Amino acid sequence: MTKRKLHFSLCGNLKESYEEELTIFETDFGRLWLCIGIVILLGVIPFICSSYWLYILNTIGIYAIAAIGLNLLIGYTGLISLGHGAFFGVGAYAAAILTTRAGIPFLAALPLAGVITAGVGMIFGIPSIRLKHLYLTIATLAGQFIIEYVLVQWEGLTGGAEGIPVSNTSVFGIGFNSDRSFYYLIFCSFIFLTWVMVNVLRTRFGRAFIAVRDNDRAAEGMGIPIFKYKLLSFGISSFYAGYAGALFAGYMMAITPEPFNMFLSIEFIAMIIIGGLGSVSGAVFGTVFIVSLSEVLSIVTEFLMNVGPTTGFAVTIAPLREFVFGLSIVLFIIFEPKGLAEIWRIVRSSFRLWPFSY
């Protein structure tokens, strides 16, 4: 029996082979921490948290899935999409329509909704054959508005502004109707999809995406079919958005077109920018930040609303929520343009190198 050699961290970034460059965990400590993290996430948190906290964690989980997907498109492939709010909505509506009208169980509708959204995303990715940079960004903006319009106007299918319920039939005795059961569904999906993403990124595909981002003409010269990869990136990233949207729909029980507006698209981009472009963990950090920020802001306004003498005042300061949201994005971009992932990296490496930081 061969004994497995444990790896500990080195004092520096010393890669000696390509295999090392490709590993997910540099050390066995990393692996250990991840296992501990997953055990806490699935085994401890759902039992000690109140349903309010579970609600917040669930929201974070849902948005994080979409943000990880968007990060593939923006951070790794370099295509800016302003339509992910709408793609998220497409997933939500696909799930709702599949469950209520076609009677498909919710668990099966989840990946199906993802696939449908991937299709829609790829349709809006088609302009990337010829469009570049800002022009493409604006084409996706148009996509956002067009999808929003369809969701509101196609009343026969989507129920229009009234919205549509999501039926949530149980399969094999597993029903999803409590915060805790959704917690498991969301975070198991989250862990699985993150694992897929991390592994996609370290294969041929991931390297091709990065090559397209850094210089698409050179990538083409190297024999990478750039259009195929751009479309694939749109597809995968919309799949994540659609899957997350379907989870959202199931969790909310009924949906209206309202939440899937341009502001949601912007929130998604804010998440990955604040987290750090081109980093999977960054997308998660950014989601945690944005969701907590908007939660804190609404708690503050609600608190002021309920305290007698400030009620009138609270109504007038409600718009300041938006102000603070904008301000935090602005400050983040000015002071830490590489995002939370960079801060995390610095903190980690200063621990790793301690006490010999040079």
> Under the rule (CB under 8 A), what is the footprint of another protein?
74, 80, 126-127, 130-135, 137-139, 141-143, 145-146, 149, 152-153, 217-218, 221, 262, 266, 269-270, 273, 277, 316-317, 319-330, 333-334, 337
Nearest to 274 by CA among 293, 259, 260: 293
- Beta carbon nearer to another protein, 6 or 330: 330
- Beta carbon nearer to another protein, 60 or 139: 139
- Beta carbon nearer to another protein, 3 or 217: 217
- Beta carbon nearer to another protein, 179 or 216: 216
Taking the complex as a whole, how short is the minimal distance between the CB of residue 271 and another protein, in angstroms? Answer: 11
- Beta carbon nearer to another protein, 252 or 317: 317
48 Cβ contact partners less than 8 Å away, ≥ 6 residues apart: none
- Structure tokens that stand for 81 in this block: 């999409």
Taking the complex as a whole, how short is the minimal distance between the CB of residue 308 and another protein, in angstroms? Answer: 22
Taking the complex as a whole, how short is the minimal distance between the CB of residue 336 and another protein, in angstroms? Answer: 11
Taking the complex as a whole, how short is the minimal distance between the CB of residue 342 and another protein, in angstroms? Answer: 13
Is the Cβ–Cβ distance between 105 and 250 less than 8 Å?
A: no
Q: Helices 106-125 and 133-153, interaxial angle, to 10°?
A: 130
Taking the complex as a whole, how short is the minimal distance between the CB of residue 179 and another protein, in angstroms? Answer: 30
Taking the complex as a whole, how short is the minimal distance between the CB of residue 236 and another protein, in angstroms? Answer: 19
Taking the complex as a whole, how short is the minimal distance between the CB of residue 195 and another protein, in angstroms? Answer: 27
119 Cβ contact partners less than 8 Å away, ≥ 6 residues apart: 235
Nearest to 237 by CA among 267, 259, 209, 257: 209
Sort 242 into a burial class: Cβ within 10 Å, 0-12 / 13-18 / 19+: buried
- Beta carbon nearer to another protein, 150 or 196: 150
Sort 183 into a burial class: Cβ within 10 Å, 0-12 / 13-18 / 19+: buried
- Beta carbon nearer to another protein, 193 or 277: 277
Residue 174 φ/ψ, nearest 5 degrees = -95, 110
| C-beta neighbour count of 49 within 10 angstroms | 16
Q: Coil, strand, or helix at residue 165?
A: strand
Taking the complex as a whole, how short is the minimal distance between the CB of residue 348 and another protein, in angstroms? Answer: 19
- Beta carbon nearer to another protein, 130 or 348: 130
Q: Coil, strand, or helix at residue 80?
A: coil
- Structure tokens that stand for 13 in this block: 């970034």
Nearest to 69 by CA among 53, 81, 54, 52: 81
Taking the complex as a whole, how short is the minimal distance between the CB of residue 192 and another protein, in angstroms? Answer: 29
Scanning 80-129, the segments in alpha helix (DSSP H) are 84-100, 106-125
- Beta carbon nearer to another protein, 103 or 337: 337
- Structure tokens that stand for 322 in this block: 């938006």
